[in-house]
Structure formats: C-alpha cells, structure tokens
Structure 1
Amino acid sequence: MIKYLRMMAMISILAITAGCQMDQSTSASGTKAADAAMDQEAKAALQSLYTSTPKSRALAQKAKGILVFPDVVKAGFIAGAHHGEGELIENGKVTGYYSTTAASYGLQAGVQRFGYAMFFMSDSALKDLKTGNGFEVGVGPSIVVEDAGAAKSLTTSTIQSDIYAFIFDQKGLMAGVGLQGSKISKLSR
C-alpha cells in the first residue's frame, strides 16, 4: 500500500511539473498577443475580486502596487504543486510579469484553479518584490491573507500590514492540509 501511495505521489509530481514547464515554454515567447491576453485576464480577475469583496477596491486605491495572478492551478496527491502567471500593476499600468510556484507535502488530494491578488501597501514591500531574486511568501514583509469574512471589517484606516492577499474564484476540489511555500519570480517578457 505504501509503495502504491509513493508511486501515485511521484506520478502526480511529474505530471504537475510537466504541465508547469509546458505552460512556461508557451508563454515565454514574449509576444504582444500573450501580454495583451494576460492584461485582459488580470483586469477581469480584479473586477471579479472587487465584485465579490467590495472592500478590496478601497484597498487597491491605497496600494503602491497590485500583483494579480488570474489563473493558478493547484494539484496534488500527498505531494502537490501550484503554478500560475500574472502581472504587477502600479498606478494603473503594467510594470512587470511574474510567475508563482509552490510545492507542498502532506495530507492532500485534488485539483483546483483559483486567482489571487496581493496588494503591496508599502514602498519597501514593493521594492522587495521588484529587486529580489525571487520573492518568497512568508519571508520578509508581513502578509495578511484576507477571507470574505475578515475583509468585511477591513477599512483603509485599519491597514497595518505590508501586503494583503486575497484568494478568489476558486473552482475544483482540493482537500487536505500541507506545508507550503510559494515563490514569486519575475518573468523576462
């Protein structure tokens, strides 16, 4: 039984890794069409977030920058991973393209798609993202992940953290718990 579980975990990791590599190779062409498509997806994702969580719009107006990943895919069986691409928006303009990748291990099973946005509230947090060699979530600036309930009580006068993150538009089923570290890297586009 343990041998079977290990084999299934390895197959899951290989499938996810292959999918992430295929996604990166097709989007790394740097074409204007790919950038325009990403711009449209990011705008639609933010609009969806603002509709489902109206307080996020007020937060966006105060943010120094918004990093939005409109479509992140997460899959796993014991071992798992997630990957997606997005863009950084500063003063209403796209200033860079980024990828998010994470690996996890623990009691988990399923496949899920979701979007997430990170609102950078301080210049120093934004600088860490833009100048670092890979930005690791949970290392460095303080990050608060908001859910629908907590976001209702959020006001621009209660903002105290460097970064606020919202996960939205979840589709699929991912059950379980696991240790996870997410790395955000700048794409050369």
Structure 2
Amino acid sequence: MTMISRRNLLAMSGAGLTLAACGNGIGSTGAAKLDARVDATRNYLLTKFPGTSDLEAKSVGVLWMPLVTEAGFGFGGSFGRGALRINNVTVDYYAAAAASFGLQIGAQQYAHALFFMTPEALADFRSSDGWQLGADARYALPDRGGAIAASTLTSTAPVIALVFGQAGLIAGASLAGTKYTRVIP
C-alpha cells in the first residue's frame, strides 16, 4: 500500500475541482446563455414539482442556480452561477462558491433555488457584498411524488432553499457555507 503525501493530496484535490468546474460554465460568459439555463431550470422545477409555482407566486424574488458543481477529496469546493429574478425578470447575476474540508470524496452537480419570501430578506441579499444562507432559512425537499409539502408553502421563513436535480457520487447536497456574490456575466 502506498502512502499519499499532503502535496499529492492537494494536487489531486485541485485537479478534481478544476475538472469538475469545466462543465459548469465557469469560463463561459454571456447573460443570454445564463438566462437560457435559468429558464430551463425554472421550467424543469415548475413542471416536475408543481407546488413550486405557488411558492414562486408567494415569493418576492427567486435566485435560480441552474448548475452547481461540487467536488472533493479531503478538501472540497463548489461553484455555480445563476440569476436573481423578480417577477420572473432577471435583475442581477450571482456566483455561489463554497469550500469544505473533511471526510469526502467524489463529485456531483445539482441545481438550487432560493425563494425570498419577504422584501427585507431580498433587500439584505441584494445589498450585501457576500451573502451566506443563515439559520433563518428553511430547506424544502420535494417528495418523490413531485409535491412540495404544505408546511413549505405556509412557512414564515424569510428564505426557502430548494435543492434538486442531484447527480453524482457525493451523497446529499448542502448549501451551508455557500457564499453568494453579485457578478457580471
């Protein structure tokens, strides 16, 4: 059995993150391309989970992140780009990034949406230099039948986070520690 040095471990982690990011649109620019991805993600979510249309109607704005790539081998990270929409009109573009350390190996991709349920939560998000999802957010998971729980629709949380479309080899997806920053596509 061979031992892996710290230097090799860091090099492998960096290479894995770089490869995982290649299919994520990190290098691609253009608002039209990002808006098309957001449209496709929104349509998928509203079709597959019909209850989200009620959630969207009750929200004051939605941050759509159509593709987030996460990879890790000891050290890990994730990155994605998306658009903030108010009344389904794009008003800003954002990048989401997170770093992690621990017992992890693999890669996955997923989409997520943040539904801002109060004007104050949306204003805090838009005015910050780097916003992180706080303890006042509620995580909603659609059931296998495609429904959003009634408790989600009646929640008083200022932000509701919905993670969906996971594909890959890391179990679960968490938005904890993810930092959102306004970008120019």
- TM-score w.r.t. length of structure 2: 0.84
Residues in 1 aligned to 2:25 and 2:167: alpha-carbon distance in whole angstroms: 19
Provide the aligned C-alpha RMSD in A: 2.8
Per the TM alignment, residue 53 of structure 1 is displaced from its structure 2 partner at its CA by 2.0
Residues 106, 177 of structure 1: 8 Å contact kept = no
Q: 2:178 aligns with which of 153, 173, 182?
A: 182
Report if the CA contact (8 A) 1:106-1:178 is conserved.
Answer: no
> Percent of counterpart pairs with the same letter?
31
C-alpha contact 1:145 1:166 (8 A) present in aligned 2: yes
Q: 2:140 aligns with which of 138, 146, 151?
A: 146
One-letter code aligned to 1:78: G
CA distance in 2, matches of 1:179, 1:95: 22
Q: Which moved more, 1:167-176 or 1:9-18?
A: 9-18
Report the AA paired with residue 4 of structure 1: I
- Distance of aligned partners of 1:151 and 1:2 in 2 relative to their CA distance in 1, 3 Å threshold: farther
| 1:63 corresponds to 2:59 | yes
CA contact (8 A) 2:133 2:176 kept: no
1:170 maps to: 166
Gaps in structure 2 of 5+ consecutive residues? none
Q: What residue ranges of structure 1 are gaps of 5+ in the alignment?
A: 28-33
Per-residue deviation, 1:14: 2.1
The match for 1:119 among 112, 115, 119 is: 115
4+ residue stretches of structure 1 with deviation over 3 A?
Answer: 5-9, 17-26, 175-180
Q: Deviations over 1:104-132 (max 9, x none)?
A: 11111111011000000011111111110
Contact 2:163 2:173 in 1 (8 A): no
Residue 11 (structure 1) aligns with: 11
Aligned to 1:96: 92
The structure whose residues are more often helix, as a share, is 1
Aligned length: 180
Distance 1:89 1:109 in 2: 34
Whether contact under 8 Å (1:107, 1:176) holds in the other structure is no
> 1:148 is paired with a residue of what secondary structure?
coil
- Conserved 8 A contact 1:106-1:179: no
Provide TM-score, normalisation by structure 1: 0.83
Does structure 1 conserve the Cα–Cα contact (< 8 Å) formed by 2:69 and 2:108?
yes
Matched, 1:53 2:49: yes
Query: Residue 23 and residue 180 in structure 1: after superposition, are their counterparts in 2 closer, same or farther (change >3 A)?
Result: same
Q: Is the 8 A contact 1:99 1:186 kept in 2?
A: yes
Equivalents in 2 of 1:154, 1:128: separation in Å?
Answer: 24
SS at structure 1 position matched to 2:31: helix
Q: Residue type matched to 1:114 in 2?
A: Y
In structure 2, relative to structure 1, the CA distance for the partners of 1:131 and 1:51 (3 Å cut) is same
1:108 to 104, 108, 112: 104
In the TM superposition, residue 187 of structure 1 has moved relative to its aligned partner by 0.2
